Amino acid sequence: MTQPNPDVAIAQAHTLEPITEIALRAEIPPEALVTFGPYKAKVDITRLRGRREAGQLVLVTGMSPTPAGEGKSTVLIGLADALTRRGLNAAAALREPSQGPVMGIKGGATGGGYAQIVPMEDINLHFTGDFHAVAAATNTLAALVDNHVQQGNELRIDARRIVWQRCLDVNDRSLRGVITGLGGTAHGTPRETGFTITAASEIMAVLCLAADLEDLRLRLGRLTVAFTFDGAPVTADDLGATGALAALMKEAINPNLVQTLGGTPAYVHGGPFANIAHGCSSLIATRVALEHADLVLTEAGFGSDLGAEKFFDIKARHGGLDVAGVVVVATIRSLKYHGGDLADGVRNLARHVDNIRQFGATPLVALNLFTTDTPAERSFLRDWARDHGVALAECEVWARGGTGAEQLAEVLLDNLSAGSRPLYDPRHGVEASIATLATQIYHAEKVEYSPQALRDLAVLREHGWDRLPVCISKTQYSFSDDPAALGAPTGHTLHVRELIPRTGAGFIVALTGAVMTMPGLPARPAAEGIDIDAAGKISGLF
Amino acid sequence: MTQPNPDVAIAQAHTLEPITEIALRAEIPPEALVTFGPYKAKVDITRLRGRREAGQLVLVTGMSPTPAGEGKSTVLIGLADALTRRGLNAAAALREPSQGPVMGIKGGATGGGYAQIVPMEDINLHFTGDFHAVAAATNTLAALVDNHVQQGNELRIDARRIVWQRCLDVNDRSLRGVITGLGGTAHGTPRETGFTITAASEIMAVLCLAADLEDLRLRLGRLTVAFTFDGAPVTADDLGATGALAALMKEAINPNLVQTLGGTPAYVHGGPFANIAHGCSSLIATRVALEHADLVLTEAGFGSDLGAEKFFDIKARHGGLDVAGVVVVATIRSLKYHGGDLADGVRNLARHVDNIRQFGATPLVALNLFTTDTPAERSFLRDWARDHGVALAECEVWARGGTGAEQLAEVLLDNLSAGSRPLYDPRHGVEASIATLATQIYHAEKVEYSPQALRDLAVLREHGWDRLPVCISKTQYSFSDDPAALGAPTGHTLHVRELIPRTGAGFIVALTGAVMTMPGLPARPAAEGIDIDAAGKISGLF
């Protein structure tokens, strides 16, 4: 298990450029660069000047994935390097890996093969501490809530209605449901609660949607942590916690800068999960990238139904971003997974392509090639694209990096357009928003609300929160809320289990199906294969 | 609450030297310096060469403190700056602050007034992420244990005897006693457990006692996490977790370098609590400091009965360190607190002085002056010291920094000696070690073991762990295990509640009295006073 695996071995064999050189190429002024060793840096947003907002933004999404993933980040990185090779001033804006899954089934999230961001070991392990800062703020707030109840409960918090959960960046199923406060009156009030993974904390969403430190502070203050015995919401502001939380996020708010193997500047910042959160890297990083590069590639987690939809309806709406092009990553493996044959499975891809068009954006399919793909399979997809008027390019980024995405870069540059838009108007209410997404994006026939969700709806209305955009938490494996319904299901029912107001982030989370906000570890965790030698060289990271 | 307070205001008004300049003065080779922005760095221990071990080591400890603390770190920093002002190549080696108490009652732990280490905001909040790394490793190991049980339990772990606890760097009394694994078979095995604060995690102790990355990895592998149904210990090695844990600690193992306000290099690394853990900064940092400076000042938490004793018996024994001098910090406030009058209270100080002599080291009392101290009080202590043959110097470090410790520096340099030693021989068994400490250091009459402690003793003997050094977890406010027994109590009983084998750290923790391994927050948490403005300037940190 400890033999070198290709990804970490390729990354370690690569000679990195100093991050100061990358920053020069990225046009980040030296006084705004805060280095973390020779190859990582943060960009101090309070020291950026002379901003321009001229770059074009390209979103990379995918068809519904197989459990192994379709290489979305890998394609993004290879494509960015192909653009850099053409002499363009390109940048990548990606999410930070979550350490829990690195130790679990998934390995790292820094691309693969010859399309990686580096130093991959550092980025996958702690990086510059942003996730830890989110967890520290989340858990400090939780301690302040319980402490308020313990110290006399001046605000009259109903301990049964403390909604703020703790978090950890660990895949730990045992923390999903816990009772805290045991041991007697000196040790708190016993109550049932749970931990989410850090990527699912609302503070992660706040970090990723904030415009600057002031906006971050405002949003942190609006976090709803509990309800009183009278049903009134209690916020971080009410607890006097806002300043401390913002201080804990002081460095985390600054985007991280690293490089791809092809030397493209990569802003890697923020990492909300895409199935259980909004799945987009930070707005601040996207803006910094657009202000300093001509073409910015960013990703949104999983398919058009999850990350891309939230990119348009939450992040781009909020941040006023225009998307000039959307790359939909597909693999022959995934096409087969979604149908008995390719002709059947391609209906999944077709729906993602159609979905992208609903946002006024131009889709481009990137077929991420594997050595097992046959000429017949590849020609099937080329024919399908031609017959359906879909732009398509093959790429071979894992094995060839930027040189494997030259055709993709060319097709992308030929297909840039303007005028993307959100799908629904949240002012029509959260039920209308959910209905629009369910029918137009998921192709469901109807939406069913659980009794809990109906009670939640009443609470949203009572507090005027029902006109916020919606962030649907749903399985990534299907357009429906049933992970086994592959392909392009229709006529199904979307089950809304729970509606959670995220008053800090500024959206309503709708939990559907049985989506977990805390993953578990598999029978053979990836952690078992990770090692480090006496000189500090890490092995076993994927 | 958000007005500038002196400590953070003084620190912010100071012009820091670039850390690269401090490193030059500290004789750290540039290739070993990993900068974290302009004013913080880690020293990559794998890149240090041409080592020497010529520096003399001075330990700073204190008399039994009042709840407000007696300014031990402040005196250390002021003294270091006084030595630097004399042209000596001095360095400070300090513990990292724990973020939980920063948000609680205590504020930061970076000195105060004109005797601070800077940048104090960064050092008090996240710093370079070492505590987060310890928590990540601790909680990853916890997830792997529960996951092993969940996935078939090949090792036959008795879920009732999982001894590995999770941790967080938060003061959160509600996490002292928890039940995890609720919700049905997909969500783990319900069991009662708890969180400690990160400073109390065994991995913090491992970090602080490891010689290098290889030694760290070995110690992590020996961590006992549970017992089987047959009573056999289960280690991190048994779970295949060791490599992943060591990889998570890759950067944390490197000492952090910052500066004092007087420009003295300060190695700030590791932070085990002194009442509930061994309370000394890392051995690696102490060694790096000794290899590069002529005089190194380091601290051990609380009084001679806690930090200093563990410094001699655990850290110095293990690391082969000789202590050339011991500064015992006293205040008039604390002398009064420990007795009806000064003549009564000074008995507490006298005992700390005697204790230090038992370790073969030369004590020197530093009277840390406050503006409220009267000439009569100061002359009382001077007379007492003269009459008892105790070296004493007054200092005024909060208000005057290094210039306020010139006399102290002179007295210290006149009193350096060699030949310090541990107090007991652990090969006589843990009961003998505890008895020696109880009678000779605490002046107890006898030791009583709870039924649980007696059972623990049997387990220690069964596994051959009873010849490890002992780390007694005890209140800092008294020589006894009763925080209300001030002064110099005698004839009392030391109550050993529990004995916990720390097979990774290599010692036995003896819990006495009612010491908590997870603090709580006060009615008015310090967090309420902390804030940050739009430009990133922090206020309200003490």
Q: What is the pLDDT along chain B (542 residues), one digit of tens a residue?
A: 334 457 888 999 999 999 999 999 999 999 999 999 999 999 999 999 766 667 999 999 999 988 888 899 999 999 999 999 999 999 999 999 999 999 998 666 899 999 999 999 999 999 999 999 999 999 999 999 999 999 999 999 999 999 999 999 999 999 999 999 999 999 999 999 999 999 999 999 999 999 999 999 999 999 999 999 999 999 999 999 999 999 999 999 999 999 999 999 999 999 998 877 889 999 999 999 999 999 999 999 888 999 999 999 999 999 999 999 999 999 999 999 998 889 999 999 999 999 999 999 999 999 999 999 999 999 999 999 999 999 999 999 999 999 999 999 999 999 999 999 999 999 999 999 999 999 999 999 999 999 999 999 999 999 999 999 999 999 888 998 888 889 889 999 999 999 999 999 999 999 998 778 999 999 999 999 999 999 999 998 87
Closest Cα in chain A, distance from residue B420 (Å) = 32
pLDDT value, residue A514: 77
Query: What total of structural domains would you count in chain A?
Result: 3
* Nearest by CB: A532 against B132, B247, B541: B247
Task: Say if residue B151 is in the same domain as residue B60.
Answer: no
The answer to whether residue B518 is domain-embedded is: no
Task: Say if residue A118 is in the same domain as residue A147.
Answer: no
Q: How many beta-carbon pairs under 8 angstroms link A with B?
A: 257
Q: Is the pTM of this model over 0.90?
A: yes
- In chain A, residues with a C-beta closer than 8 Å to the C-beta of B132 are 126, 129, 132, 135-136
Confirm or deny that A70 is annotated as ligand binding.
Answer: yes
Summarize pLDDT for A284-325 with one digit per residue, the tens: 999 999 999 999 999 998 889 999 999 999 999 999 999 999
Q: Of the residues A233, A248, A263, which one is the last residue of a structural domain? A: A248
* Nearest by CB: A538 against B36, B186, B250: B250
What proportions of chain B, in percent to the nearest 5, are helix, strand and coil? 40, 20, 40
Contact A215, A184 (CB under 8 A): no
State whether A250 and B214 contact (CB < 8 Å): no
CATH of the domain at B137: 3.30.1510.10
Contacts of A133 (CB under 8 A, 6+ apart): A248, A249, A251, A252, B126
State whether B173 and A152 contact (CB < 8 Å): no
pLDDT value, residue A148: 98
Summarize pLDDT for B68-107 with one digit per residue, the tens: 888 999 999 999 999 999 999 999 999 999 999 999 986 6
Question: What's the CA angle centered on B183, arms B182 and B187, to 5 degrees?
Answer: 80
Task: Say if residue B121 is in the same domain as residue B136.
Answer: no
pLDDT value, residue A67: 84
Task: Say if residue A232 is in the same domain as residue A274.
Answer: no
The answer to whether residue A541 is domain-embedded is: no
pLDDT value, residue B51: 64
Q: What's the token pair of residue B277?
A: 């853990």
The answer to whether residue B520 is domain-embedded is: no
Q: Which residues of chain A have pLDDT under 70?
A: 1-5, 50-53, 106-108
Question: What's the CA angle centered on B437, arms B286 and B469, to 5 degrees?
Answer: 55
The answer to whether residue A147 is domain-embedded is: yes
Closest-CA residue of B relative to A183 is: B177
- Give CA B366 to chain center in angstroms: 20
The answer to whether residue B523 is domain-embedded is: no
Closest-CA residue of A relative to B534 is: A214
State whether B170 and A525 contact (CB < 8 Å): no
Summarize pLDDT for B406-419 with one digit per residue, the tens: 999 999 999 999 99
The answer to whether residue A490 is domain-embedded is: yes
Annotated catalytic, A302? yes
Whole-complex ipTM: 0.95
SS (H, E, C) B163-215: CCCEEECCCCHHHCCEEECCCCHHHCCCEEECEEEHHHCHHHHHHHHCCCHHH
Matching residue, tokens 């003896």: B510
CATH of the domain at A478: 3.10.410.10
Annotated catalytic, A403? no
Task: Say if residue B123 is in the same domain as residue B134.
Answer: no
Task: Say if residue A105 is in the same domain as residue A173.
Answer: no
Task: Say if residue A86 is in the same domain as residue A229.
Answer: no
Task: Say if residue A348 is in the same domain as residue A400.
Answer: yes
DSSP string, A281-309: --HHHHHHHHHH-SEEEEEEEEEIIIIIH
pLDDT value, residue A5: 59
Q: How far apart are CA A475 and CA A459, in angstroms?
A: 26
The answer to whether residue A538 is domain-embedded is: no
Spatial CA neighbour of B345 closest among B365, B325, B331: B331
Q: How far apart are CA A507 and CA A307, in angstroms?
A: 15
pLDDT value, residue B66: 87
Domain hosting A462: range is 426-512
Pairing of strands B56-62, B295-303: parallel
Q: Of the residues B207, B225, B248, which one is the last residue of a structural domain? A: B248
Task: Say if residue A121 is in the same domain as residue A134.
Answer: no
What is the residue type of A197?
I
Task: Say if residue B297 is in the same domain as residue B185.
Answer: no
Annotated catalytic, A250? no
The answer to whether residue A331 is domain-embedded is: yes
Spatial CA neighbour of B95 closest among B112, B79, B111: B111
Q: Of the residues B354, B388, B414, which one is the last residue of a structural domain? A: B414
Closest-CA residue of B relative to A98 is: B136
Task: Say if residue A123 is in the same domain as residue A136.
Answer: no
Peptide bond before residue B489 is cis, with ω within 30 degrees of 0: no
Altogether, the residues listed in chain A come to a count of: 542
pLDDT value, residue B3: 42
Confirm or deny that B70 is annotated as ligand binding.
Answer: yes
Identify the residue among B532, B537, B541, B542 best suited for mutation to test binding to A, counting A beta carbons within 10 A and taking the highest. B532
Annotated catalytic, A384? no
Task: Say if residue B144 is in the same domain as residue B208.
Answer: yes
